[in-house]
Amino acid sequence: MPYTIAEKILLKHSGQKSIKPGEFIQAKVDVALANDITAPLAISEFKKSGFKHVFSKNKIVLVPDHFAPAKDLKSANQCKVLADFAKEHGIKNYFEIGRMGIEHALLPEKGIVLPGDLVIGSDSHTCTYGALGIYATGMGSTDLARAYIDGKCWLKVPASIKFIYKGKLRKWVSGKDLILYTIGQIGVDGALYKIMEFCGPVIRKLGMDDRFAICNMAIEAGARAGLIEPDNKTKKFVAGFKRKPKFYYSDADANYEQIYEWDVTKLEPQVSCPHLPSNVKPVSSLKNVKIDQSVIGSCTNGRISDLRIAASLLKGKTVARRVKLIVFPATQKIYLQAVKEGLAEIFVKAGGVFSTPTCGPCLGGHMGILADGEIAIATTNRNFLGRMGSPKSFVYLSNPAVAAASAITGRITHPAAL
């Protein structure tokens, strides 16, 4: 029976002889992830269950990254719950301040998640890892608590949708623009409880950072997971890690519920306007939108290539006087690399703030909350009403080049206009 890459991974982890979309399966997980917001509830439910030992000391991952560094006493206590649980159970993959990073950049960087894995996380953007050919999906904290007990979870097998991108990308157009364009075309529920499989010659030419950005936002179209088949770039990325990857590929005659095919040669940078990721417009149509803040970073676009692109535009220039520029590298390794390459200096000299890794501003947590009436452009993944602070604020989503160019001019700007 022909299968998609997602179905093959689920079949392998279920131990069944066959599966089909719509069927419920019980599957073994390779990694169970949580952060300082979602882990405390999972830990509480695990303790209530009466079990004394977790299923694995190596497969549970705890990353305090949302309100970390702790913004107040409540968030400090949340983080302490993770630290105490990790110590009690000998959890290997607990990442304290100074060693942590934004979880969805940190785990691939550390080789904790690898091609062929089944990864669950109590964070919706767990789907990021699909860029490596991983079935990775978000779920609730109580589901995670169950996985802590026996390393298993219940899943409903989703149908798959294939997205084929052809043509050649213009300068300043990136993976972020492809996923924003896609969400704009199909809507925030266009892939509801489906798998988004991204392929075609344009995808194959993209680097891993762009692929992570694409899969990261699959959830913004309602998808359970977003996947890209492994290739030589994938294999190079995972080479050298201790655990061995398993590469799966979709069969040529695999069944897809729907297939989309676009030539993106003429695509310009895309911007998602308030208050939905699907409210997408080309950057050239937003010339008169003034901004108060530009945020570059997050689990979507906080990788080293993103910082290099932004710095290339900001070098020798100054951020508009009334604009706040906040730059968040996604991990400590990326932070250090940006310092070595002089990128951090470029951001600071331009009038920006170069911050330690944190999810803070993305969810309106801290280190960049918007006030009433303020407008931000951000390389993050959501722009829901009140997402970054006040429900009277406005968030536009873009790629790093647009965010950097806009910080310089004080209004949403195409990088080519500088």
Closest CA to 397 of 300, 268, 256, 290: 300
Mean pLDDT value across the chain: 96
CB contact at 8 A, 128 and 104: yes
Condensed to tens digits (0 to 9), the pLDDT of residues 70-129 reads 999 999 999 999 999 999 999 999 999 899 999 999 999 999 999 999 999 999 999 999
Token pair in block for residue 101:
């990073």
Provide, rounded to the nearest whole percent, the portion of the chain with pLDDT above 90. 95
Count the residues in the chain. Answer: 418
Residue 1 has pLDDT above 90, yes or no: no
Confidence of residue 163 (pLDDT cuts 50, 70, 90): very high
Q: State the Cα–Cα distance between residues 195 and 227, nearest whole angstrom.
A: 7
Provide the angle, in degrees to the nearest 10, between the axes of the packed helices 73-89 and 39-48. 50
- How far apart CA 376 and CA 368 sit, in angstroms, is 10
Sign of CA dihedral 315, 317, 321, 323: negative
Local confidence band at 402 (pLDDT 50, 70, 90 cut-offs): very high
Task: Specify the pLDDT at position 134.
Answer: 98
Torsion, Cα of 277, 279, 282, 288 (10° steps): -110
How far is 220 from 129, CA to CA, in rounded Å? 15
Q: Which residues of 256-292 are buried (b: 16+ CB within 10 A; e: fewer)?
A: beeebebebeebbbbbbbbbbbbbbbbbeebeebebb
Instruction: Examine the pLDDT at 415 and tell me if it is beyond 90.
Output: yes
- The pLDDT tens digits for 241-280 are 989 999 999 999 999 999 999 999 999 999 999 999 999 9
User: Residue 261 in contact with residue 345, Cβ under 8 Å?
Assistant: no
Provide the pairing of β-strand 324-328 with 159-166. Answer: unpaired
Tell me which H or E stretch contains 94: strand 93-94
Instruction: State how far the Cα of 384 lies from the Cα of 196, in Å rounded to an integer.
Output: 22
- Hey, what long-range contacts does 1-5 have (CB within 8 A, 24 or more apart)? 2/251, 2/252, 2/253, 2/254, 2/255, 3/250, 3/251, 3/254, 4/160, 4/195, 4/197, 4/250, 4/251, 4/254, 4/255, 4/256, 5/133, 5/197, 5/227, 5/229, 5/248, 5/249, 5/250
H/E stretch holding 104 reads helix 103-110
Over residues 323-340, the pLDDT tens digits come to 999 999 999 999 999 999
Read off the DSSP letter of residue 189: T
- Rounded Cα–Cα distance for residues 226 and 124 (Å): 12
Rounded mean pLDDT of 24-31? 97
Backbone angles phi, psi at 294, to 5 degrees: -125, 125
pTM: 0.96
Which tokens in the block code for residue 97? 């301040």
What is the model's pLDDT at position 243? 93
pLDDT band per the 50, 70, 90 thresholds, residue 360: confident
Confidence of residue 343 (pLDDT cuts 50, 70, 90): very high
What integer pLDDT is reported at residue 144 of this predicted model? 95
Interval 191-230: pLDDT, tens: 999 999 999 999 999 999 999 999 999 999 999 999 999 9
Q: How far apart are CA 274 and CA 70, in angstroms?
A: 29
> Which domains are delineated in the chain?
5-261 (3.30.499.10), 271-413 (3.30.499.10)
Give the per-residue pLDDT at 53: 95
373: left (phi over 0), alpha (psi -120 to 50) or beta: left
